[in-house]
């Protein structure tokens, strides 16, 4: 309670005096979830929410497939529909890059390939964020042994933790998608 009170006072003081406190105000939100969904499914009649709850066995199978540990057993996918046709799926997630959060969206085609990856918020210094052009390299990729930095994904000098982190997150999302959404594997 005291901590929240003092942070509130600090923010009021900072706003009132025009001072900048990087430890509290740093970070950037590029896009909201709703805006992102409208952009990736512009012609959709509906965007349906698909909640996925993993059991322990499913978790083990997904971790083996992704070659990465899951921090959660709950995922939410969004299916964009045009009539009876699914145009694609989107999933949102977040993870810590160095010491602060990164919020991302992965858009998956019905064939399990990646349509796009986008960062929606980034709270580390921006020099640790790979370029939009780098993220475009994920388009068309599938969950295989090439979906790793320095294999099918280029490394980025100065953004190693970001590159490794987002690639692991994408691998997890694709594994959950294959096993739980399209029931493959």
On whether both 15 and 106 belong to a single domain, the answer is no
On whether both 5 and 79 belong to a single domain, the answer is no
On whether both 101 and 158 belong to a single domain, the answer is yes
**Domain around 5:** 1-25
Structural domains in the chain (count): 2
d(C-alpha 78, C-alpha 44), whole Å: 11
> DSSP class of residue 178?
I
Instruction: Output the pLDDT for position 17.
Output: 38
Distances in Å between the alpha carbon of 144 and those of 16, 35, 140? 53, 30, 12
On whether both 163 and 89 belong to a single domain, the answer is yes
On whether both 11 and 41 belong to a single domain, the answer is no
On whether both 146 and 161 belong to a single domain, the answer is yes
Q: Which residues pair with 52 in a beta bridge?
A: 75
On whether both 59 and 135 belong to a single domain, the answer is yes
Instruction: Output the pLDDT for position 149.
Output: 85
pLDDT digits 0-9 by tens, 161-171: 888 899 999 99
On whether both 176 and 113 belong to a single domain, the answer is yes
State both tokens at 14.
């900072």
Instruction: Output the pLDDT for position 90.
Output: 98
d(C-alpha 170, C-alpha 176), whole Å: 10
| Listed residue (82, 79, 134, 70) closest to 109, CA to CA | 79
Per-residue pLDDT tens, the chain, 185 aa: give them.
444 333 333 333 334 434 444 444 467 899 999 999 999 999 999 999 999 999 999 999 999 999 999 999 999 999 999 999 999 999 999 999 889 999 999 999 999 999 999 999 999 998 888 989 989 999 999 999 999 888 888 888 778 888 889 999 999 999 999 999 988 76
């Amino acid at each position: 309670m005291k901590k929240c009170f003092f942070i509130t006072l600090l923010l009021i003081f900072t706003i009132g005096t025009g001072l900048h406190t990087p430890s509290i105000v740093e970070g950037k939100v590029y896009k909201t979830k709703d805006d992102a969904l409208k952009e990736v499914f512009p012609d959709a009649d509906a965007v349906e929410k698909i909640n996925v709850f993993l059991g322990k066995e499913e978790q083990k199978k997904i971790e083996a497939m992704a070659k990465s540990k899951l921090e959660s057993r709950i995922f939410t996918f969004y299916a964009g529909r045009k009539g009876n046709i699914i145009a694609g799926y989107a999933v949102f997630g977040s993870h810590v890059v160095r010491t602060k959060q990164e919020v991302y969206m992965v858009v998956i085609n019905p064939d399990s390939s990646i349509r796009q990856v986008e960062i929606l918020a980034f709270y580390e210094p921006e020099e640790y964020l790979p370029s939009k052009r780098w993220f475009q390299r994920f388009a068309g990729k599938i969950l295989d042994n090439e979906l790793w930095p320095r294999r099918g994904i280029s490394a980025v000098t100065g953004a190693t933790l970001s590159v490794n982190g987002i690639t692991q997150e994408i691998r997890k999302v694709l594994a959950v998608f294959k096993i739980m959404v399209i029931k493959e594997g």
